[in-house]
Amino acid sequence: MRSPDASLVRLERWQAPSEEQRRGFPRLCPDLVVELASPSDRPADLRRRMAAYRANGASPAWLLFPDEQAVEEWGPAGEGRRIEAAERLDAGSVFPGLELELAEIWAG
């Protein structure tokens, strides 16, 4: 069982488990996952975690590297696509209209 730094679950998926099952940690993988790398994190460990989220249905899954102002976006194809000097992320059709502005994250 893992808990990402930030995540979203579509409403219909969230309502599927009973109210009792939703208390605590429900047994479901989020639809969108965000992990924020810290200086003490090992990138290989983070990538294994992202691959696990992706294998369990999370898409998109974003791995943010603030020190590098870069993002690895894990989508339906699997492996992370690196985006250098990323300014904004778009959740696409999973959460239409949801965009993550990265300037404040990069600023620290």
Confidence of residue 21 (pLDDT cuts 50, 70, 90): confident
pLDDT band at 75 (very low <50, low <70, confident <90, very high): confident
What's the distance, Cα to Cα, between the start and end of the chain in Å? Answer: 28
Average pLDDT on 68-93 reads 89
Residues 6+ apart with CB under 8 A from 19: none
Cα separation of 63 and 60, whole Å? 10
**Domain locations in the chain as residue ranges:** 6-107
The pLDDT score that the predictor gives to residue 44 is 95
Superfamily of domain 6-107: tt1808, chain A (3.90.1570.10)
Given pLDDT bands bounded at 50, 70 and 90, which one contains residue 34?
Answer: very high
